[in-house]
Structure 1
Amino acid sequence: MSNPLILCLNGPNLNMLGVREPELYGRQTLADVETAVRAKAEGLGLDVDFRQSNYEGELVTWIQQGHGSIAGVIINPGAYTHTSIAIPDALRILTVPIIELHFNNSYRYADRAFRQLSHVRPVATGVIFGFGAAGYLNAVEAMNNILNPPFPKS
């Protein structure tokens, strides 16, 4: 029997981690994040399909392709969080847990108030933001807890 597969999607500009505004996003690269995510997931008995695209349609296609074959989605949609209707529409096709993920707590930046709007949030099982790259590890652990609840249901 194979491990549950988690689709970890990253939106536009996340390929520029370590270069783009390191004071906000840190100095680690997306490759660094991917390595840490894979190690964390492996330790929990999960497999990860880790991808990044600057193209909304490509993200939508990957979500659609996951239907029926994935156990959950972790998604950092980047700027598409605030602008895309297509991504949450595609996520609604799925019947698996969805975790929305962001590096920063957007509520801390008054000059970036537009970032407080999320079209993804209404379809997400949970949201993790404000923990930088460590949020990815929190998301993997949270997904594991959703798939394998540590507490009995009452």
Structure 2
Amino acid sequence: MPSSILLLNGPNLNMLGLRQPEIYGRDTLADVEAMCIEAGKQLGLTVEARQSNYEGELVTWIQQARDVFDGIVINPGAYSHTSIAILDALNAFEGKVVEVHISDIHAREEFRHHSYVSHRADHVIVGQGIKGYTMALDELANRLLA
């Protein structure tokens, strides 16, 4: 049975392709999700994609993932820098976690340099554009299927 991965995207990622394309590119969230589902199949993973602009909804999904998913790929967006609640939810998740950021958060405004989620993540990928998502899936496949 394939390992199951929850792909979570946080606030404003539903605006991919429209919001600051010079930073985030022109691909849409639908493009990213389709790419990840296909990449997951190639890696022997099933991928379920979700996005929310609401912190509490992301926390609930992470809590519900405990007995359902083997791993989480998360781009928490701006919540990376503010949400201890998401960190606490991830700390209760027993599977593997990979954090993804499309842009290089360390080369941007200083307030973006710190991520609470990174404290829990098993691996962090920044600044690789949307390719970072498939890199995250590859990392999870290596960790889960090895």
The two structures have a TM-score, normalised by structure 2, of 0.98
What letter corresponds to residue 26 of structure 2 in structure 1? Answer: R
Larger Rg: 1
| CA offsets 1:71-126 (integer angstroms, 9 cap, x no match) | 101000000000111001000111111001100112222xx110001111111101
Gaps of 5+ in 1: 150-154
Query: Which residue, out of 124, 138, 142, partners 2:139?
Result: 142
Cα distance in 2 between the residues matched to 1:13 and 1:93: 25
| Residue 40 (structure 2) aligns with | 41
Q: Separation in 1 of the partners of 2:105 and 2:43?
A: 30
Q: CA RMSD in A?
A: 0.7
**1:94 paired residue number:** 93
What's the counterpart of residue 120 of structure 1? 117
Secondary structure of residue in 2 paired with 1:128: strand
The amino acid of 1:141's aligned partner reads D
> Hey, what's the Cα distance between the residues in 1 that align with 2:47 and 2:73?
10
Alignment partners' CA distance in 1, 2:2 and 2:105: 34
Please give the residue correspondences for 1:47-66 in structure 2 after superposition, counting only pairs within 5 Å: 47-66=46-65
Structural mapping, 1:103-114, within 5 Å: 103-109=102-108, 112-114=109-111
Partner of 1:14: 13
Q: Which amino acid aligns with 1:143?
A: L
Query: Percent identity among equivalent residues?
Result: 51
CA–CA distance in structure 2, aligned partners of residues 76 and 58 of structure 1: 14
The residue type equivalent to 1:35 in the other structure is A
Runs of 4+ with >3 A deviation: none
CA drift of 1:4 comes to: 1.1
For 2:93 and 2:58, locate their aligned partners in 1 and report how far apart those are by CA, in whole Å. Answer: 14
2:94 and 2:62 mapped to 1: Cα distance?
12
